Amino acid sequence: MDDTLHEQGIVSVFVVIFTGLLLTVAMIGFVRIMLSDQHQASVDDLSKSALDSANVGVEDAKRLILFWKSCRNGEITVAGKCAQVIDAFDSNSMDDCNTLSNLGISARLNGETLVQQKSGDIKLDQAYTCVTINTQLKDYKAQLSEGKSTVVPIRLSGGASEITLEWFSVEDLPRRDYRVITTPTTAPQIPLMEAWNIIGTNTPPMMRVQAISTGESVNFDALNNSPGTAFLYPSTGGGQASVAMTEPRRTPAIDPPKRVACVMMLNEGYACKTVLTGIPGPIAYIHLTALYTGASFRLSSASGAVEFSSPQIEIDSTGRANNYFRRIATRVEVTNTDMPYPTAAIDIGGNLCKNFIVEMNTPTGDKHNRRLTPFCTP
């Protein structure tokens, strides 16, 4: 009897021990998960805070750009200060991390500019460590939304008559893998919106490109005969490496879209690329419209013989929060590019109806008007 009780006691001890171990393992597992989630939340918070710090550096750089523009346009005059800022922009000598502090926009402490909600408040431990400004960019980058247009003034030198157009980058993709529409071997026609939408959201847009040359002075007769419009049709089945902008604007001939080769998988850069040739200089305007969907684009020149008359300025900013860093690069327009350039004679969202009135003579020589049935078209 005693031995049986003794054995039952040992079993109870082992059950308690194994139960305790099981609970301990489960508790340690939950604690690890909790600590991991807490660490990840802290990392995400610090990463966002570092990005906010970098954006503060961008905004301070914009303040400097606005000050430079005001000085250059004669809107303000600050003795010595305006001359210093204008000279820095003209010489593009702002590739130093201390640019903003050297030009009096911010104050640096221990090699960085602290981000403060109010004066003396440094509890956030945030700062931007380096901000540089580049005023001599060799290309032009922008974003076009669906159906919207932009006009980019350029100046060609050294006999140059071509410019490279690229569009649809990774930023335009809803997901990493995508396919580009394939076109028939014959020249395609402009498809209906419904047909394009069936293809999917990962398809680059068709680009409408117009090259308008003016020369040193504007001549309206020359504008009518300047190189015209081309529709660039994205294709994975091959396409033209270059497109000649030689069709006059008033040509009655039907000019089908040009097939432009695009890559099927995109990790960096742009999906579609072609060279626009036959652009008379020295001054021209590149009018771009994204059809069916939006996309980012880039205009550049391999020879460097193209100068963009609406310059962009690139701001490179690095922000810090605690011991985490984030770096961003963005571009700002120096001049207003929202030119009132017409994209259509009439733009409607519904139907268009016209009332026709015909003037008729009566047998007695009197005149009267006869109103015909309204003509409507979708």
Residues 174 and 203 reside in one and the same domain: yes
Average confidence score pLDDT of the chain:
78
Q: Which of 51-60, 108-117, 174-183, 244-253 has the lowest mean pLDDT?
A: 174-183
In a domain, 261, yes or no: yes
Question: Does 240 share its domain with 303?
Answer: yes
Domain identity same for 276 and 184? yes
Residues 199 and 210 in one domain: yes
154 plus 243 within the same structural domain = yes
Note the pTM of the prediction, 2 decimals. Answer: 0.72
Tell which residue, 322, 315, 318, 314, has the closest CA to residue 53: 318
Contact 241, 250 (CB under 8 A): no
Instruction: Give yes or no for a contact between 297 and 141, defined as CB atoms under 8 angstroms apart.
Output: yes
Number of domains present in the structure of the chain: 2
Is the same domain home to 329 and 208? Answer: no
Across 20-31, average pLDDT:
82
Lookup: tokens for 280: 């008379």
- What would the mean pLDDT of 63-77 be, rounded to a whole number? 87
Tokens at 257, concatenated: 């879209």
DSSP-assigned letter for residue 365 = S
Query: Per residue in 281-328, pLDDT tens?
Result: 788 888 899 988 889 999 998 777 788 876 789 999 999 998 889 999
CB of 144 within 8 A of CB of 169? no
Residues 192 and 305 in one domain: yes
pLDDT of 185 over the 70 cut: no
DSSP sequence for 7-30: HHHHHHHHHHHHHHHHHHHHHHHH
Same domain, 84 and 105: yes
Q: To which H or E segment does residue 100 belong?
A: helix 99-102
Q: Are 130 and 296 in contact (CB under 8 A)?
A: no
Tell me if 126 is assigned to some domain: yes
Q: Per residue in 313-327, is it b (16+ CB within 10 Å) or e — as a string?
A: bbbbbbbbbeebbbe
Give Cα 269 to chain centroid, integer Å.
Answer: 13
On whether both 162 and 300 belong to a single domain, the answer is yes
**Token duo for residue 181:** 């529409």
Residue 28: its pLDDT value, please?
A: 82
What is the average pLDDT across 347-367?
63
- Higher-pLDDT residue of 364, 102: 102
Domain end among 310, 338, 371: 310
Domain boundary pick from 284, 310, 336: 310
In a domain, 227, yes or no: yes
Whether 300 is covered by a domain: the verdict is: yes
pLDDT of 177 over the 60 cut: no
Of 310, 339, 360, the last residue of a domain is 310
Angle ∠(155,160,144) on CA atoms, nearest 5: 55
Closest CA to 57 of 326, 303, 285: 326
Q: Are residues 179 and 132 in the same domain?
A: no
Alpha-carbon distance of 24 to 353, in angstroms, equals 79
Q: Is residue 67 part of a domain?
A: yes
Residue 234 within a domain: yes
* 106 domain residue, yes or no: yes
Q: What is the pLDDT of residue 54?
A: 94
| pLDDT above 50: residue 255 | yes
- The domain containing residue 207 runs over which residues? 149-310
* CA Rg value for the chain: 32
Residue 303: the pLDDT is 75
Residue 125 CB-density burial (10 A; 0-12 exposed, 13-18 middle, 19+ buried): middle
Q: Is residue 366 part of a domain?
A: no
What's the confidence (pLDDT) of residue 281? 72
Return the closest-CA partner of residue 116 out of 58, 329, 107: 107
Residues 175 and 302 in one domain: yes
Quick: pLDDT tens for 192-210.
Answer: 777 776 666 678 888 999 8
pLDDT at 112 over 50: yes
Same domain, 256 and 338: no
